[in-house]
Structure 1
Amino acid sequence: MAQNERLAELSAAGVAVWLDDLSRDRIRTGNLQSLVDEYSVVGVTTNPTIFAAAISGSDSYDDQVHALAVRSVSVEEALRTITASDVRDACDLLRPVADRQPGDGRVSLEVAPGLAHDTDATSAEAAHLWWLVDRPNLFIKIPATEAGLPAITETIAHGISVNVTLIFSLDRYRAVMDAYLSGLEKRVANGGSLEGIASVASFFVSRVDTEIDKRLDKLGADASLKGRAGVANAQLAYQAYEEVFSSNRWRALEAKGAAPQRPLWASTGVKNPEYSDTMYISELIAPGTVNTMPEKTMKAYADHGEPGTPVQKAYDEAAAVMKSVADAGVDLDDVFKVLEDEGVKKFVDSWDELTDSVKSELEKLK
């Protein structure tokens, strides 16, 4: 079937369109395949909140949960089995995409969020999930906490592809890129191949505006600054990406077969109804990027989205926006710390909700 023209043009501009959602029903009904066929979707991201909604909102999981229940498996094993099943099936569906365009056709599965501040446990969980799903087009999601950074290096060094999540600040983003390059260097030093290793760095957007807008209102600052920091912050992240992935350090790894760690724009669903519902797509168009979208946002762009200013032409204005926000009295370091802490907590809460839901289902279906 014909691809939507607007999303096809977005792809042609170098933006990989990924869906920020997954459920067993999406796979079984053909919905995910139709998004691949008609909306240029070439990847899928998941998180604990997405799985909590999928499993609690469908009876498609009942047979599997019953089978797990009669085996008296633990809740933790049941969760891994259920989520890995969906991700494995999505990987298989997207394998043709991965075969024709390496780096895409990927599906992301996140380590348990409660491990976000435990380096060794994160590394071990990443290795286990990679083994459990057993598909080359898998991404293991690791949060960009301070403890997550060395886990990223170790995971990449073991040849496991990584989606680094919950990145908010430029400083942390630079540390993430360093962790990726360090992992590649360690793998080379250990005699390993770089073939097939891929990574994306998920830089969050709309949550930045939500937090900064709230603070601008409290400060009584110029209202024209609202709704601009999220895009500006991401645009400056792309500038940092260009710098790192044109360095001599990177060129040495590229010569050995390394693939760049692409920036991925996450949290792209607009949360303020006063803003354009496609702003986090239109204003973040740049080569070699990924935009993971809720289906509602994707279809909004398919219906009426228009390209904005190319990211590479927006650096000066983006820097000016962030300076103006800081000058207005917003403590950006605190903003990014709060967002990271809240991000981890939201996923932990969703994981706990998912655990409770699966536990009750296991008990009910024994």
Structure 2
Amino acid sequence: MSAYQSPLHEMSQTTPTDYWNDSSATDELEYGIQHGAVGATTNPVIVVDVLKKSFSDWEGRIREIIGELPTATEDDIAWKLIDEMAIKAAKLLEPVFEKTGGKKGRLSMQTNAKFYRDAEAMVKQSLHFAQVIPNLNVKMPVTEAGVKAIEEVTYHGISVNATVSFTVPQALAVAEAVERGLKRREAEGLDNSKMAPVCTIMVGRTDDWMKVVTNRENIIVNPDYLEWAGVAVFKNAYRIYQEKGYTTRLLAAAYRNHYHWSQFIGGDVVLTIPCKWAKRFNGSDVTVEERMSKPVDPAIIKELSSKIEDFRRAYEPDGMTPAEFDTYGANVRTLRQFIGGYAELCQIIRDLMIPNPDK
């Protein structure tokens, strides 16, 4: 009989690789913790999905909030709801947070995606989040303004989870911003021992963007290679992180295939996995073995680099400047989706505040 409940549990117990649940839904997070999860993440799309799946659990509370805050806008109600969802999920992770001295057991809360150009607004909202839950990683997009906010939030002693990030240049910009923030704290004699910053690379969305580009520009590449774009970017960023000894850890998100799990096993990284993918991985015959140090086939990198300019921009450390982050295709697509997810959340709340009289 195996000493481990599942492959993810085995990975979490036998390697440096951490497993997080990519949702704040209580049932999904409980499943994750049972199988070794030590953190959780959320974003506007995930919040809407959670609300839709368990609307009956939250409808009454939303109506109560509407009554408690008679002058509140739908935005006010939305963020009050997000706060309460976060508090509920964060409590499940508090035992791990306390046991590890704050290094693990954290919930990631995302700033309003509409603030992607406003560093000051992101910092202000991050400071609010830090008052809501103690075991926080605050998520901000890796835009030009986001990089500035990441440094400032780090300086204020809040651990970040940089998101809307798909490339090596973004990951390096985040790591350097965190180091600047930590050095400012150190210079003032402030404690950095409990800081646990991470930088996401949304590997599946990196793959998605390469597929969009090849389809849009009529580029023919080996279709199997397109499943490796995000893995190649992540492994290259990890190599540089290890060489430079950054405080920040890399985090893989946006799952599309088992490479986005299996290829990163053994790395000192975080894998934030949606519950449906966690169950697939736990039911698979993919073995738990160290693969992080195994390089991606050079033929894959050569073909993707020679045929897809946006892969080169994603893979090479100097492929983009922070001023170019905002207009990179994967960034634009994801920001639009996240802003759309927030708009959908507001629409759900609006329908409760002022129901459609025609229905």
If the length of structure 1 is used for normalisation, what is the TM-score? Answer: 0.85
Question: SS state of the match for residue 354, structure 2?
Answer: helix
Change (3 A) 1:214 1:116: closer
Equivalence for 2:52: 56
Change (3 A) 1:165 1:331: closer
Equivalence for 1:359: 350
Cα deviation, 1:127-179, whole Å, max 9, x if unaligned, reads 12222x1x321111111111100100100100111111111111111111000
One-letter amino acid of the structure 1 residue matched with residue 346 of structure 2: T
1:362 Cα deviation after fit: 2.5
Which of residues 264, 282, 307 is equivalent to 1:284?
Answer: 264
Equivalence for 1:343: 334
- In 2, Cα distance between the equivalents of 1:351 and 1:319? 40
One-letter amino acid of the structure 2 residue matched with residue 79 of structure 1: A
Change (3 A) 1:244 1:318: farther
Q: Superposition pairs for residues 221-300 of structure 1, below 5 Å?
A: 221-245=221-245, 260-268=247-255, 270=256, 277-300=257-280
One-letter amino acid of the structure 2 residue matched with residue 13 of structure 1: T
Question: SS state of the match for residue 219, structure 1?
Answer: coil
1:21 Cα deviation after fit: 1.2
Change (3 A) 1:31 1:144: closer
Question: SS state of the match for residue 291, structure 1?
Answer: strand
> In the alignment, is the contact (CA less than 8 A) between 1:235 and 1:318 conserved in 2?
no
- In 1, Cα distance between the equivalents of 2:302 and 2:178? 29
1:279 Cα deviation after fit: 2.0
Which of residues 173, 178, 184 is equivalent to 1:180?
Answer: 178
Equivalence for 1:254: none
1:265 Cα deviation after fit: 0.4
Equivalence for 1:326: 305
Which of residues 136, 142, 145 is equivalent to 2:143?
Answer: 145
CA RMSD in angstroms comes to: 2.1
> In the alignment, is the contact (CA less than 8 A) between 1:65 and 1:362 conserved in 2?
no
Equivalence for 1:256: none
If the length of structure 2 is used for normalisation, what is the TM-score? Answer: 0.87
Change (3 A) 1:320 1:234: farther
> In the alignment, is the contact (CA less than 8 A) between 1:233 and 1:318 conserved in 2?
no
> In the alignment, is the contact (CA less than 8 A) between 1:173 and 1:237 conserved in 2?
yes
1:332 Cα deviation after fit: 2.8
1:318 Cα deviation after fit: 5.5
Equivalence for 2:66: 69
Matched pairs, number: 334
Change (3 A) 1:206 1:338: same
Cα deviation, 1:33-59, whole Å, max 9, x if unaligned, reads 34312x111111000001112223412
Question: SS state of the match for residue 234, structure 1?
Answer: helix
Instruction: Give unmatched runs, 5+ long, in structure 1.
Output: 251-259, 271-276
> In the alignment, is the contact (CA less than 8 A) between 2:138 and 2:160 conserved in 1?
yes
> In the alignment, is the contact (CA less than 8 A) between 2:167 and 2:313 conserved in 1?
no
Identity of aligned pairs, percent?
25
> In the alignment, is the contact (CA less than 8 A) between 2:210 and 2:308 conserved in 1?
no
One-letter amino acid of the structure 2 residue matched with residue 107 of structure 1: L
Q: Superposition pairs for residues 198-237 of structure 1, below 5 Å?
A: 198-216=196-214, 218-237=218-237
1:186 Cα deviation after fit: 1.1
